[in-house]
């Protein structure tokens, strides 16, 4: 069909020679004086943001409100091209723009019937009329033919055909076959069936009268006319023609796509001169996520929104981008993009801290951390539940998202070093008034975006590697934006071993109690995830990563107002579970374990390998994942014991095996090493592991001297029973004080921290046994058990 023995200019030249030299000269002069009114391809098209396969996600109309999607001949189904050319202009590739035989035939039909039976216009003439509309008069037709000859003189057939494909009218503000295909059939023009191709081939003849969504019977009759023509010319096999006849006209007017609207808006602004922006978005996943998030947020109060970002871990391309819960809902701030918004990350930075500390050799997976009342300079971190757990492992601290142990590790690593690592991972942190990094960093003391957090969290599925997120399936034009930069190569943030161990810890936290189809089917879905909650319940986060995908989810109010009980476990994790059900199980597997990560037994309180310890030092065994079989000792500072010098104490013993020192005037017979727990843990340890039972007793000559220095609770007698006074109706207030203390005192009632100070007042106690405990700044502890009976 496209074989063309003569060039465009040769055909035109022959046509003018046949008409005479004078006519040819007149054409050349007019061609110079009356140039073709060509379209502005930059402004005439709607700007389109597409998915990874080129299908529109969102379209922005041109300056006149016309929906015209740019399309090339290669992006249109050959079926449509066959139907169009054989119905509209069978000799398109042979004539010079005007087909005299067609004009004579059309004129004869008009003279015989008085009606227009066939128009006689070639595709080139139709393009000329599109570029420059004219009246339906004899002069208008002549002018159209002149413009058609100009087109043929200046352009080849394929260029002319592409002008038709892009500018043909399909009704109202709808122009071009691509826009028509998506609007009426919800698919690309490359995917048209035989019947649909025939339908669109005839539609420009009367786009309003033949609209298939409004007038299906009329449209079917016109379509069948095209099919009969194709059958007569034997363009398609008869079987396919009959199948096309049988296909009903089913069309709907699909409103112009508005998927991933906030990503599309962002990219249109970022690349202002790009006509078509092809993204990496998975259309099906995007559609399902938008529907899921909108349904999920429906149960929340007005003003609440949510955002979800899904990345492909292979190259950190964006698979889905849901910037708000409901784009069209102003009550939920639907136009505010919460993927790029700057918010407090809560506890979501903790996995990075522990991973970096693993690489630095500060800790291992089962290192002993101290969840106790702590003061780091002027900073006093509190746990989410306001309580303390005493001795915890790194695994437990991360899985339970405990605050105090995280601050203990950050204090050892250094806030500035941690800040630098986060910046390298792509997390841009914004501190208040650009203050220097401090210990509050790990608990949400700086702000960042869901985009940055998700990019960085992917290191747990990418063996410790990161790189910038990619939104585009193809590089934009070099002149599309001043800020266009080539993406950086992947860079290492964590070792593969530290990344795997940290991910393994997070995967051990259960999601199964959130009921979903996947949870019911597999009982437990193990996936590395981390939640976060900002101050005032303003932001609820959850991040998750598998070998293939990384997920970032935020729930909250875009205007920054608090939302009651809006914390990660409560609001973000259930949405994650719904998101996971949209994906096949093979995309939710864990990364493989590095070969040099092995399980070994370590012992507390030292934290080192059991096989390297004296058997008497091993009080609690732990099975730990270790890198190269290295188990760093527990050397992090005890926040309650400024005198603490490690877990090994060398005790001086007299001949009877009792402790002694220079103040006791007892000769030292031997020195023996004992493993002890950090002093601040005494309250949480069973009696057999407390220092008074682990270390030998003091010699009698030393006890009187030590008694003056020993912490002791006064004001409550041990094992006493407190009752109301004889004329009272309730217990009087009782104040406990201490002697022999060093530093600040921390008070506990029945194992719960109640504050700090030189004294502690008891009131309003229920009947039964109670215990008051106190720990001082030197790690000393005392406790008194008593009863209350009213």
Chain centre to alpha carbon of residue 668 = 65
User: Distance between CA atoms of 468 and 53, rounded to whole angstroms?
Assistant: 22
User: Distance between CA atoms of 224 and 94, rounded to whole angstroms?
Assistant: 26
657-665 CB contacts, 8 Å cutoff, 24+ apart: 657/696, 658/696, 658/697, 658/698, 658/699, 659/695, 659/696, 659/697, 659/698, 659/699, 659/702, 660/698, 660/699, 660/701, 660/702, 661/702, 663/702, 663/705, 664/698, 664/699, 664/701, 664/702, 664/705, 665/701
> Positive or negative, the Cα torsion across 689, 693, 696, 700?
positive
| Secondary structure string (H, E, C) spanning 269-288 | HHCCCCCEEEECCCHHHHHH
Catalytic residues: 88, 347
Structure tokens at 231: 């059958």
User: Distance between CA atoms of 594 and 616, rounded to whole angstroms?
Assistant: 33
Structure tokens at 202: 């005839």
Helices (H), 361-449: 394-399, 403-413, 415-424
DSSP letter string over 449-477?
Answer: EHHHHHHHHGGGTTTTEE---B-BSSPPP
| Secondary structure string (H, E, C) spanning 85-127 | HHHHCCCCCCCCCCCHHHHHHHHHHHHHHCCCCCCCCCHHHHH
> Positive or negative, the Cα torsion across 58, 63, 69, 70?
negative
Task: Give how far Cα 249 sits from Cα of 211, 215, 242, 757, Å.
Answer: 10, 9, 14, 83
DSSP 3-state assignment of 402?
coil
User: Distance between CA atoms of 765 and 669, rounded to whole angstroms?
Assistant: 50
User: Distance between CA atoms of 85 and 91, rounded to whole angstroms?
Assistant: 8
368 near 605, Cβ under 8 Å?
yes
Per-residue buried b or exposed e for 241-272, using 16+ beta carbons within 10 Å of the residue's own CB: beebbebebebeeeebbebbbbbbbbbbebbe
Q: Which of these, 90, 469, 123, 140, lies nearest to 315 by C-alpha position?
A: 469
Q: Which of these, 443, 370, 392, lies nearest to 641 by C-alpha position?
A: 370
582 near 575, Cβ under 8 Å?
no
User: Distance between CA atoms of 164 and 314, rounded to whole angstroms?
Assistant: 41
- Residues 591/596/600/602 CA torsion (nearest 10 deg): -100
User: Distance between CA atoms of 705 and 766, rounded to whole angstroms?
Assistant: 38
Q: Which of these, 369, 356, 314, lies nearest to 635 by C-alpha position?
A: 369
DSSP 3-state assignment of 765?
coil
> SS3 helix, strand, coil % of the chain, rounded to 5?
35, 20, 45
Q: Which of these, 705, 649, 703, lies nearest to 676 by C-alpha position?
A: 649
DSSP 3-state assignment of 12?
helix
Structure tokens at 753: 């921290």
The continuous run of DSSP H or E covering 550 comes out as: strand 549-556
Cis peptide before 605 (omega within 30 of 0): yes
The crossing angle, in degrees rounded to 10, of helices 138-154 and 21-33 is 80
Q: Compute φ and ψ for 84, nearest 5 degrees.
A: -65, -50
């Amino acid at each position: 069909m496209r074989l063309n023995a003569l060039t465009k200019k040769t055909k035109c030249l022959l046509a003018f020679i046949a008409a005479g030299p004078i006519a040819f000269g007149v054409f050349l002069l007019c061609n110079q004086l009356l140039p073709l009114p060509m379209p502005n391809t930059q402004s005439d098209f709607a700007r389109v943001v597409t998915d990874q396969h080129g299908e529109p996600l969102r379209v922005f109309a041109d300056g006149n409100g016309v929906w015209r999607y740019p399309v090339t001949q290669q992006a249109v189904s050959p079926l449509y091209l066959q139907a169009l050319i054989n119905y509209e202009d069978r000799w398109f590739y042979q004539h010079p723009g005007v087909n005299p035989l067609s004009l004579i035939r059309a004129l004869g039909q008009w003279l015989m019937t008085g009606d227009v039976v066939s128009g006689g216009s070639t595709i080139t003439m139709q393009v000329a009329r599109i570029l420059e509309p004219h009246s339906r008069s004899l002069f208008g037709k002549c002018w159209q033919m002149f413009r058609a000859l100009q087109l043929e003189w200046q352009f080849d057939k394929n260029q002319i055909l592409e002008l038709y494909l892009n500018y043909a009218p399909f009704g109202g503000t709808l122009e071009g076959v691509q826009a028509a295909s998506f609007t009426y059939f919800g698919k690309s023009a490359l995917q048209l069936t035989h019947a649909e191709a025939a339908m669109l081939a005839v539609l420009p003849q009367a786009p309003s009268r033949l609209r298939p969504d409004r007038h299906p019977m009329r449209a079917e009759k016109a379509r069948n006319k095209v099919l009969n023509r194709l059958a007569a010319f034997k363009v398609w096999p008869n079987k396919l023609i009959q199948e096309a006849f049988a296909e009903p006209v089913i069309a709907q007017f699909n409103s112009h796509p508005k998927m991933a609207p906030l990503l599309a808006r962002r990219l249109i602004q970022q690349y202002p001169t790009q006509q078509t922006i092809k993204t990496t978005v998975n259309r099906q996943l995007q559609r399902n996520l938008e529907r899921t998030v909108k349904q999920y947020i429906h149960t929340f109060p007005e003003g609440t929104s949510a955002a979800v970002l899904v990345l492909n871990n292979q190259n950190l391309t964006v698979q889905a981008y849901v910037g708000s819960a409901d784009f069209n809902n102003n009550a939920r701030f639907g136009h505010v993009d919460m993927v790029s918004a700057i918010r407090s990350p809560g506890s979501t930075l903790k996995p990075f801290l522990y991973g970096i500390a693993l690489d630095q050799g500060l800790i291992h997976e089962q290192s002993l951390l101290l969840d106790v009342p702590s003061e780091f300079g002027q900073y006093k971190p509190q746990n989410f539940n306001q309580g303390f757990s005493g001795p915890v492992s790194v695994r437990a601290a991360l899985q339970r998202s405990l605050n105090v142990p995280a601050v203990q590790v950050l204090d050892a690593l250094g806030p500035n070093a941690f800040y630098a690592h986060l910046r390298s991972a792509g997390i841009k942190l914004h501190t208040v008034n650009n203050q220097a990094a401090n210990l509050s960093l790990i608990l949400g003391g700086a702000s960042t975006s869901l985009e940055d957090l998700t990019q960085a969290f992917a290191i747990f599925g990418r063996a410790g590697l990161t790189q910038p997120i990619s939104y585009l399936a193809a590089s934009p034009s070099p002149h599309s934006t001043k800020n266009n930069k080539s993406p950086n190569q992947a860079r290492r943030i964590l070792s593969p071993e530290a990344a795997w161990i940290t991910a393994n810890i997070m995967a051990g936290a259960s999601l199964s109690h959130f009921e979903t189809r996947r949870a019911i089917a597999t009982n437990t879905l193990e996936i590395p995830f981390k939640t976060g909650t900002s101050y005032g319940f303003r932001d609820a986060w959850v991040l998750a990563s598998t070998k293939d995908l990384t997920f970032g989810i935020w729930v909250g109010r875009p205007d920054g107002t608090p939302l009651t009980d809006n914390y990660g476990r409560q609001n973000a994790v259930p949405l994650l579970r719904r998101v996971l059900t949209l994906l096949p199980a093979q995309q939710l597997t864990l990364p493989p374990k590095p070969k040099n990560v092995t399980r070994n037994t370590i012992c507390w309180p030292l934290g080192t390998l059991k096989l390297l310890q004296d058997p008497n030092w091993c009080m609690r065994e732990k099975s730990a994942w270790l890198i190269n079989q290295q188990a760093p000792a527990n050397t992090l500072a005890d926040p309650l014991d400024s005198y603490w010098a490690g877990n090994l104490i060398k005790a001086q013993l007299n001949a009877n095996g009792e402790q002694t020192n220079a103040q006791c005037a007892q000769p030292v017979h031997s020195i023996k090493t004992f493993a002890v727990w950090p002093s601040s843990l005494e309250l949480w340890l069973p009696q057999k592991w407390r220092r008074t039972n682990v270390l030998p007793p003091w010699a009698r000559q030393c006890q009187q001297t030590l008694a003056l220095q020993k912490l002791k609770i006064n004001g409550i007698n041990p094992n006493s029973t407190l009752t109301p006074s004889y004329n009272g109706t309730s217990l009087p207030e009782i104040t406990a004080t201490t002697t022999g203390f060093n530093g600040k005192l921390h008070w506990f009632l029945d194992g719960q921290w109640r504050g700090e100070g030189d004294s502690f007042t008891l009131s309003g106690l229920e009947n039964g046994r109670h215990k008051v405990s106190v720990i001082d700044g030197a790690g000393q502890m005392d406790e008194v058990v008593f009863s209350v009976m009213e």
